[in-house]
Structure 1
């Protein structure tokens, strides 16, 4: 089991998250252009929603470009501020959400930074045991093939293991330094393409390039101006899952108050008048069919027994009994036991007399 370091947890949950500065966002927006069609932009660590709101304002979009924005935020106060700025928002930990795979055309990710602590982590797991890496692994599948990733992380996060992970899933990767150098952040841009199993010379060069930036052997350059590097392609406007799997008590109460569960249709569900009428049989029922109909409760009403007493049929049922048959075959006696289902019909005596109102069983 892995947990967040207490100091990191305190920084992330109390004051802070590390919002992307406006200058970096403006430079980033100028590198992107949105092609005509339907788009979904996701920020799974959206904070107050300011970063996504700025990107929506400043990314150049061609005519007929429709963008729906989605966000996830853990802190309640920040989620409340972000809600009016986005089309849809989940107040949740991103690891407690279900977001349709391949449902987003653009993914902006500025995750929390910090180490994970685990007693049972192997060497390979420890190499990837940082919050920013785990967040990237969790949300990258939501990006469609050919979608654009913008990842804001400290340069030191580009370890050999993480660089290899990115090289296997991204193409056309570029790394630029952020405009504000408080956290030594870099902006990594790439196009999602699954390249696992393709050990090409170009991919190996990318791993070395990213690792050198992470180890400080090479510096990321500034973001260029006046040039468009990536085109965000549209996607199909089909419905997709965007929900949390661990709702709070207040959220459950709000959902039940809004939808009322099944109780608004109580009368429709339980009112006998809404049931379809049973069609009349085409011919007289055989004793076997009659017993099944009685047992199933499909035959009701007044019946008169052979002794002239009248009953009102109430409920049908069946009882499993065992019938024993004995046959003599030569010098041997063969006993066979056969299971049978005997109908049991409960009725109310409605003939005047001492038995009036009693429930009887008709076999």
Structure 2
């Protein structure tokens, strides 16, 4: 996609409600905690997952981030917390959320001026957001089936997660979306064992025939296995964007002393006519007044309201002087001087422009 507008809209596909129902049945929520969707769209899927387990004894707080303003507004109604901002600008507590739902846009990252290449969003969002998931926290990762065969994605998943399941959308919606679901608990500790069997399995998912024949539909998995979602804090200590919303600046600017001073300076001056100057004003003094803006502003009120504009018109005048010498030769001397003229115009209430000087 070539335009930034298309980039913003790129790859937005909300997870179907039916698939959300199947995923919910695969979860075993142990207790209260925080659920995060860093590319939440309208927040429907995270609301669907959390509402099934909400109770007086189990408080689940939902957090979302959405770039699109319209979708973010809807998500703010569906989720407990949602910020309209790019995920790149977010500051979120590390290792804090119990469940991470990740269905990133299917596109490349934008290329910066100093960048030689770009990465796929499925990869960058995976690496960026797993750090917010607590140890043994559950990640649900939904991307197109062939993208699991990316070596970087496959190696990362095979290294950092255990108790893993890979399923595809149910038959009634797989042909429309061609998406698969990775479910796994984040490993704990610094030293993580590489799962070669999982890595090889994911690389084979580049083949559509392999996915259809070897990857279990999510509805078939229901009732056979469940994944634990551990308990955790319900409130994230850190959850904000480094980018300020421009609407937050309105009141501050409007009430600032600097803005008030600017408004006063930008108002037309109210000129007062009356009395005579202490000394007669010569042309040079008048030019100085005009140049400083002293003869600009308003005069009178109501039917006698006029706008006055004074200008100093500066021009160059060229004069030639011819001198004859005793030997018969002549010399032409060219002189250039600056000429300053005064112009004062008045605009009447009827729009008539009159030139006084």
TM bin (shorter chain): 0.5 to 0.7
Matching residue of 1:83: 76
TM-superposition CA deviations, 1:76-106 (whole Å, max 9, x none): 1111111011111110000100010011000
Which residue, out of 74, 86, 91, partners 1:93? 86
What's 2:247 paired with?
250
SS in 2 for 1:81: helix
Aligned pairs (5 A) from 1:41-120: 41-58=35-52, 60=53, 64-116=57-109
The question of whether the paired residues in 2 share the 8 Å contact of 1:72 and 1:94 is answered with yes
Q: 2:167 aligns with which of 166, 176, 180?
A: 176
Go from structure 1 to structure 2 and tell me whether the alpha carbon gap of 1:66 and 1:209 turns closer, same or farther (over 3 Å shift). Answer: same
Unaligned segments of structure 2, at least 5 residues? 257-357
Write the distance in 2 (CA, Å) between the matches of 1:32 and 1:114.
29
Q: State the distance in 1 between where 2:46 and 2:56 align.
A: 20
**Separation in structure 2 between the aligned mates of residue 86 and residue 57 of structure 1, nearest angstrom:** 10
Listed as ranges, the matches of 1:189-200 within 5 Å are: 189-194=183-188, 198-200=192-194
| Residue 235 of structure 1, CA deviation | 1.0
State the Cα deviation string for residues 160-206 of structure 1 (Å, max 9, x = none). Answer: 22100111211111111113222310011010015775455xx1111
In 2, the alpha carbon distance for the partners of 1:186 and 1:241 equals 31
Alignment check: 8 A CA contact 1:12 1:112 kept:
no
CA displacement, residues 28-74 of structure 1 (integer Å, 9 cap, x when unaligned): 000002113x310011111111111211233x468711100000000
Distance 1:120 1:214, change over 3 A: farther
Q: Which residue of 1 aligns with 2:232?
A: 235
Candidates 6, 13, 21, aligned match of 2:2 = 6
The 3-state SS of whatever aligns with 1:46 is coil
Change (3 A) 1:139 1:227: same
Matches within 5 A, 1:1-363: 5-6=1-2, 10-11=5-6, 13-14=8-9, 17-36=12-31, 38-58=32-52, 60=53, 64-116=57-109, 129-158=119-148, 159-179=150-170, 180-181=173-174, 182-194=176-188, 198-200=192-194, 203-216=195-208, 218-219=210-211, 220-223=215-218, 224-237=221-234, 239-253=236-250
How far residue 244 of structure 1 moved from its aligned partner, in angstroms, is 0.2
Q: TM-score, normalised by structure 2?
A: 0.62
For residues 225 and 139 of structure 2, the distance between their equivalents in structure 1, rounded to whole angstroms, comes to: 15
In the TM superposition, what is the alpha-carbon distance from 1:225 to its structure 2 partner?
2.0
- Find the aligned partners of 1:242 and 1:117 in 2 and give their Cα distance: 24
1:120 and 1:183 mapped to 2: Cα distance?
A: 35
Q: Quick one: structure 1 residues 120 and 168, their matched pair in 2 at CA, closer, same or farther if it must change by over 3 Å? A: farther
Distance 1:162-1:55 versus aligned 2 partners, 3 A rule:
same
Report the Cα offset of residue 242 of structure 1: 0.2
Quote how far apart the aligned CAs of 1:248 are. 2.5
Secondary structure class of the residue paired with 1:65: coil
Q: CA deviation at 1:227?
A: 3.9
1:173 partner SS: strand
What is the alpha-carbon distance in structure 2 between the residues aligned to residue 205 and residue 214 of structure 1? Answer: 16
**Deviating more after overlay: 15-24 vs 97-106:** 15-24
* 3-state SS, counterpart of residue 6 of structure 1: coil
